A and B are shown apart, each in its own frame.
Chain A
Amino acid sequence: MPLDTHSELLKSIDINEFYKLCITSTSKRPDSRSYLDCRPLKCLPNILQNSNGSSMIRLGNTRVICSIKCQLAKPSLKSPSCGYIQPLVLLPRTQAYTSFGRRTQIINNNAVLSQTLLDIILKSNMLHLDDLCIEQGKWVWCVSCDLFCINNDGNLLDCCLLAIVHALKQTTLYTVKIDSDTGKPLVYTKEKLKLKLYDEPLCCTMFVYDNELIVDPTLNEEQVATTLIHVVLLKNDQICLLNKTGGTIFPTEKFQQCYGLAKQYIHSQRQILEKANDSKTVE
């Protein structure tokens, strides 16, 4: 990036100062959004032909691709009628936000995001693992969701959750019949069944800067933020997950405000998701 102007120089030296200057001079963020505006969201369904389901989400500059592949597996002894679901997030090493210390940062980031997504999927009852059972004790579906982040410009949890929900909506499972003589499964790739989703959790990320609640942070804003808040809501606006990190004091009225903002933001996300679902596949 060219360091010609004073503001660009300030951004690379001390991002805190740059942000403070920007907010006090114009009461808008550096990319001229107001505090409650989110970046333009675009959802593309079924972009990969060889997976059971896929989607691509573009939230401003952040891009995430999700690919879902279903494979047959043997169930565990503890739960013989439950299938498996495994979300795995891959953030490439080039997208770390500091130039040093990339490896541990990336590994930690990936692990944390993957586990958060798994927690949200299981606890919101989005999928019933019993639905993934073909024959109890013998064959179940193992749904592996791979999320690949092409460009990280902040707000990864929102994007990843959107991508995985969108992709799961498009997922189709092949019909499987068990051969009674050999006991082996016969997979018919022409007959497909859609995966049943009971709920759709979506996330809204906000951060606090100077006692103001600001929605949808970019990467630079995440570094500057004192507190990050993630709110995940279900279809009926019930809270699935509420996570606040950082050490600022937070009165209860602010929580109500958070919930109200999250509801609004997630409603608009759902509308865009519905529209994208209805559109045809992208070539």
Chain B
Amino acid sequence: MNEKNVMSMENGNDESPIEHYCQVSCQLSSIVKSTGSATFTLNDSMCTCILNGPSELLQRQQLESSKNQLHIDVQYQTRQGSLTFYLDKLIEQWLETIVQSTIIKQRYPRSQINLILYEEQNLAGEATLLSCICNTLCLTMLDANLPMKYAFASIPVVLHPTKGLLLLPNTKDELTSKTYFV
């Protein structure tokens, strides 16, 4: 499904509403051979995610997981390859905590779920990319029909030095801001 969303926001100070354009587009099941996949675009960032599972644990993984729980494996790769090892690991850990708290783990004991995410395009700053990754994850889990306790979404919010708090900022505004929330 491809949509172009036009959102209008009302600024408390001015009288007239401010029109804010942001491009959101999504394609589910973009990769045929996986259990679930999604490609999501938010402004200038694009990200794809593939989900495989729930599948059986390998012998060594069975020994590794001391409890009969669902084992979740998340891999994230940036466009540049393996130059940014530590930042990838931080993002992977963040996503793993999200997935751990979302999926109803009691349904799949002694199984594993593999998630592979990769960033296809990032012309904007960190905030839009992180939101894009988070949304892609949720859509992939929905596409794969995994039982989830809740669905989640995220938008980037930046603190611009002159314009104040901006939701879903343009690339130009985002790159001039120092603080962001996701």
Q: Which residues of B contact A98 (CB under 8 A)?
A: 66
* A247-B102 contact in complex given A99-B66, A101-B65, A111-B85, C-beta closer than 8 Å: yes
Query: Are A115 and B150 within 8 A (Cβ)?
Result: no
Q: Which residues of A contact B149 (CB under 8 A)?
A: 247
Query: Are B90 and A100 within 8 A (Cβ)?
Result: no
A234 within 8 A of B: no
B83 within 8 A of A: no
B93 within 8 A of A: yes
A118 within 8 A of B: yes
Query: Are A112 and B89 within 8 A (Cβ)?
Result: yes
Q: Contact partner of A112 among B65, B93, B101, B102, CB < 8 A?
A: B93
CA distance A107 to B89 in the complex (A): 9
Mark contacts of B94-112 with chain A using CB atoms, 8 A cut-off: 1 yes-contact digit, 0 otherwise.
Answer: 1001100110000000000
Query: Are A114 and B86 within 8 A (Cβ)?
Result: yes
For chain A, the count of residues having a C-beta within 8 Å of the partner chain is: 16
For residue A235, give the distance in angstroms from its CB to the closest CB of chain B: 17
Query: Are B86 and A115 within 8 A (Cβ)?
Result: yes
A116 within 8 A of B: yes
Q: Which residues of B contact A247 (CB under 8 A)?
A: 98, 101-102, 149-150
Query: Are A111 and B65 within 8 A (Cβ)?
Result: no
CA distance A237 to B98 in the complex (A): 29
Residue of B nearest to A239 (CB): B179
* A111-B101 contact in complex given A100-B63, A100-B65, A247-B150, C-beta closer than 8 Å: no
B174 within 8 A of A: no
Q: Contact partner of B92 among A100, A108, A246, CB < 8 A?
A: A108
CA distance A100 to B62 in the complex (A): 10
Residues of B142-168 whose CB lies within 8 A of A: 149-150
Residues of A71-116 whose CB lies within 8 A of B: 98-101, 107-108, 111-112, 114-116
For residue B34, give the distance in angstroms from its CB to the closest CB of chain A: 23
CA distance A111 to B93 in the complex (A): 10
A245 within 8 A of B: yes
CA distance A177 to B95 in the complex (A): 48
CA distance A98 to B102 in the complex (A): 23
Residues of B82-140 whose CB lies within 8 A of A: 85-87, 89-90, 92-94, 97-98, 101-102
B15 within 8 A of A: no
Q: Which residues of B contact A245 (CB under 8 A)?
A: 94, 97-98, 101
Residues of B63-89 whose CB lies within 8 A of A: 63-66, 85-87, 89
Query: Are B87 and A100 within 8 A (Cβ)?
Result: no
* A111-B86 contact in complex given A100-B63, A246-B101, A247-B101, C-beta closer than 8 Å: yes
CA distance A226 to B64 in the complex (A): 23
Q: Which residues of B contact A99 (CB under 8 A)?
A: 66
CA distance A24 to B15 in the complex (A): 55
* A100-B94 contact in complex given A108-B89, A114-B86, C-beta closer than 8 Å: no
Query: Are A108 and B102 within 8 A (Cβ)?
Result: no
* A100-B97 contact in complex given A108-B92, A116-B90, C-beta closer than 8 Å: no
Q: Which residues of A contact B92 (CB under 8 A)?
A: 108
Residue of A nearest to B63 (CB): A100
Residue of A nearest to B85 (CB): A111
For residue A245, give the distance in angstroms from its CB to the closest CB of chain B: 4
Query: Are A101 and B97 within 8 A (Cβ)?
Result: no
Residue of A nearest to B90 (CB): A115
For residue B23, give the distance in angstroms from its CB to the closest CB of chain A: 28
Give the residue among A100, A114, A246 with the most B Cβ atoms within 10 A.
Answer: A100
Q: Which residues of B contact A114 (CB under 8 A)?
A: 86
For residue B76, give the distance in angstroms from its CB to the closest CB of chain A: 12
The 7 closest A-B pairs by CB, nearest first: A247-B101, A111-B89, A115-B86, A101-B64, A245-B97, A100-B64, A115-B90
Interchain residue pairs with CB less than 8 A apart (9): A99-B66, A100-B64, A111-B86, A111-B90, A112-B86, A112-B93, A115-B90, A245-B97, A247-B150
Q: A108-B89, A118-B86 are in contact. List 17 more A-B contacts (CB 8 A).
A: A100-B63, A100-B64, A100-B65, A100-B66, A101-B64, A111-B86, A111-B89, A111-B90, A112-B86, A112-B89, A112-B93, A114-B86, A115-B86, A115-B90, A245-B94, A247-B102, A247-B150
* Chain A interfacial positions (CB closer than 8 Å to B): 98-101, 107-108, 111-112, 114-116, 118, 226, 245-247
